[in-house]
Amino acid sequence: MIAENRTFEEMSIGDSAELRRICTADDLLIFANASGNHNPIHLPRHDGDGDGQPEAIVPGMFVGSLISAVLGNVLPGPGTLYQHQSLGFTNRAFPGDELIARVTVTGKATDGSVTMATQVRRAADSALIADGEAVVVAPRNKVRYDDQDLPGLVVNNHRHFERMLERAEPLPPLVTAVICPEDSSSLSGALLAMKHTIIAPILVGDHARITATAKELSADLTGIEILQAADPRAAAALGVALVHEGRAGAVMKGHLHTDDLLRPMLDKVSGLRIGRRFTHIFVMDVPGLNHPLLVTDAAINIAPDLETKVDIVQNAIDLAISLGIAVPKVGVLSAVETVNPAIPSSMDAALLSKMAERGQIRGGMVDGPLAMDNAVDIAAARIKGIKSEVAGHADILVVPGLDAGNMLAKQLTYLSHAEAAGVVMGARVPIILNSRADSDMARLASCAVATLHDARIRGVVVPA
């Protein structure tokens, strides 16, 4: 955007200018962080006045800032300085409202100051939101400014996970065997998911440690079944038995090693195998990305061969469908986007793509090899001349091996501020994997992912 000012000499009484702005929920979050005003009545999904309903009222000073935008960008424009602003508020604005800020010159003084009538109206019904008067020092010199290099902002708002919670909460709680919830992180995560009606936990582990942890958390375990197990392996085996008995529809990792959790599930006789490899999937909510991003496999299969990658891809497609992605787009990653016999991952990617074309992988679109840039960025794909429905739009990223997947997921988490929900697929029931570093949102999302997948498999109608 090129902004060019109107100097004091160029302005006349009656001159006016306006700008339109659709107010979004992200605007409220940005304003709260920039201003330091965290009043919950101005924040999305918060009840700020105790009436049981969220308000999300646009702050008055945000409305006022729209007037400042007209003054600074258009009339008078670059070089303008405020001297005075009065504001009166007659209505309230809310996210989704398109607001029109307008200024009109009403006076000019010999000292270079300009008086302007100011108002903000709602576009839909012309309702007056705010009006007042501004006095500014108008620029004397002509200025043109190109704001294209202004740094952008990305709000760390995990709306995809919030949407998953909204879809999962109305469903019947998924009965979940929580294995060794013997520390505050694992027990509080299970209890939080229960509070949100996403799971109904059965706590399996050392009874004394579980109750001691609950006491530390001041948590009430009344009505929650606790099953005694001598050690982590015994607890995991008991969790498998609960699934076989039909008493549990999911298993959730607590305070134990992943190997100890999975070992009884992988037993060829008594485990939870269904004919596919167990594969791990991170469901990631990346700020600024308009859809959830699945990364697989980042935790179980270290150096998967082609046969294992078929299961990795199919498991991820199945889960993505459960999350509401009708036809998941799978980008199989390599270092390059062309097939190179010297790079095994590029060969595997090409074979997986062809297998999907021939119906050996079902339910999604698979393309590869794709480099990371052209898998997720359409401009990068076009520059490379890649014509594909997947390139630039991948919902699922299939990595060459565990080390690449782990690094990718952690880069997204720690550099891009993503949240990651972790599940294992390929078993009779979803296996919920959390780490001690996970936030409350990540723990809730992991449970919501498992619940949504279980509901689809059982034919339960999931809210749109």
Asked whether residue 156 carries a pLDDT value surpassing 70, the answer given is no
pLDDT band at 157 (very low <50, low <70, confident <90, very high): low
Straight-line distance from the first to the last Cα atom of the chain, in angstroms, rounded to the nearest whole number: 39
Contacts of residue 82, defined as CB under 8 A and 6 or more positions apart, other chains included, come to: 68, 71, 134, 135, 136, 137
Token pair listed for 69: 């935008």
pLDDT tens-digit readout, 283-312: 999 988 889 999 999 999 999 999 999 999
Q: What are the C-alpha distances in Å from 463 to residues 167, 322, 324, 371? A: 5, 12, 10, 35
Q: What is the pLDDT of residue 152?
A: 66
Contacts of residue 380, defined as CB under 8 A and 6 or more positions apart, other chains included, come to: 373, 374, 392
Asked whether residue 412 carries a pLDDT value surpassing 90, the answer given is yes
Burial of 113 (0-12, 13-18, 19+ CB in 10 A): middle
CB 395 within 8 A of CB 282: no
Question: What average pLDDT does range 395-417 have in this prediction?
Answer: 95
How far, in Å, CA of 320 to CA of 460, rounded? 16
Token pair listed for 33: 């962080």
Best CA proximity match to 318, nearest among 279, 370, 374, 288? 279
Beta carbons within 10 angstroms of residue 2's beta carbon: 8
* Position with higher pLDDT, 147 vs 369: 369
pLDDT tens-digit readout, 256-272: 999 999 999 999 999 99
DSSP state of 53: S
Domains of the chain: 6-146 (3.10.129.10), 159-457 (3.40.718.10)
Q: What is the pLDDT of residue 48?
A: 85
pLDDT band at 45 (very low <50, low <70, confident <90, very high): confident
Asked whether residue 153 carries a pLDDT value surpassing 70, the answer given is no
Q: What is the pLDDT of residue 149?
A: 65
| Extended strands (E) in 143-246 | 144-146, 174-179, 199-205, 226-228
How far, in Å, CA of 438 to CA of 188, rounded? 12
Q: What is the pLDDT of residue 154?
A: 63
Best CA proximity match to 193, nearest among 426, 446, 369? 446
* Helix then strand then coil, % of the chain, to nearest 5: 35, 25, 45
Token pair listed for 130: 């705010």
How far, in Å, CA of 104 to CA of 74, rounded? 12
Asked whether residue 151 carries a pLDDT value surpassing 80, the answer given is no
Question: What average pLDDT does range 5-33 have in this prediction?
Answer: 92
The alpha helices in 53-109, defined as continuous H runs, are 60-73
Question: Residue 25: helix, strand or coil by DSSP?
Answer: helix
pLDDT tens-digit readout, 439-461: 888 899 999 999 999 999 999 88
User: Percentage of residues in the chain with pLDDT exceeding 70?
Assistant: 97
> C-alpha 222: how far from its chain's center?
33
CB 394 within 8 A of CB 370: yes
Instruction: Render 114-146 in DSSP notation, one character per residue.
Output: EEEEEEEEETTT--EEEEEEEEEE--SS--EEE
pLDDT tens-digit readout, 158-201: 789 989 999 999 999 999 999 999 999 999 999 999 999 999 99
Strand (E) or helix (H) holding 258: helix 258-262
Q: What's the maximum distance between 2 C-alpha atoms anywhere in the chain?
A: 93
pLDDT tens-digit readout, 315-356: 999 999 999 999 999 999 999 999 999 999 999 999 999 999
Beta carbons within 10 angstroms of residue 245's beta carbon: 8
Q: What single letter denotes the amino acid at residue 179?
A: I
Q: What is the pLDDT of residue 313?
A: 98
CB 62 within 8 A of CB 33: no
pLDDT band at 8 (very low <50, low <70, confident <90, very high): very high
Q: What single letter denotes the amino acid at residue 129?
A: I
Token pair listed for 34: 């920039």
Token pair listed for 228: 């005694």
Half-sphere exposure of 248 (CA within 13 A, CB side): 29
Q: What is the pLDDT of residue 126?
A: 95
Strand (E) or helix (H) holding 303: none
Question: What average pLDDT does range 18-42 have in this prediction?
Answer: 91
Burial of 132 (0-12, 13-18, 19+ CB in 10 A): middle
Q: What is the pLDDT of residue 155?
A: 65
User: Percentage of residues in the chain with pLDDT exceeding 90?
Assistant: 84
Find out whether the peptide bond into 369 is cis, omega within 30 degrees of 0.
yes
DSSP state of 96: T
pLDDT tens-digit readout, 72-99: 999 999 999 999 999 999 999 999 999 9
CB 374 within 8 A of CB 326: no
Q: What is the pLDDT of residue 148?
A: 64
Question: Residue 346: helix, strand or coil by DSSP?
Answer: helix
Global pTM? 0.77
The DSSP bridge pattern shows strands 113-122 and 81-89 to be unpaired
Asked whether residue 2 carries a pLDDT value surpassing 80, the answer given is no
Token pair listed for 360: 């050996």
How far, in Å, CA of 462 to CA of 464, rounded? 6
Q: What is the pLDDT of residue 3?
A: 78
CB 113 within 8 A of CB 138: yes
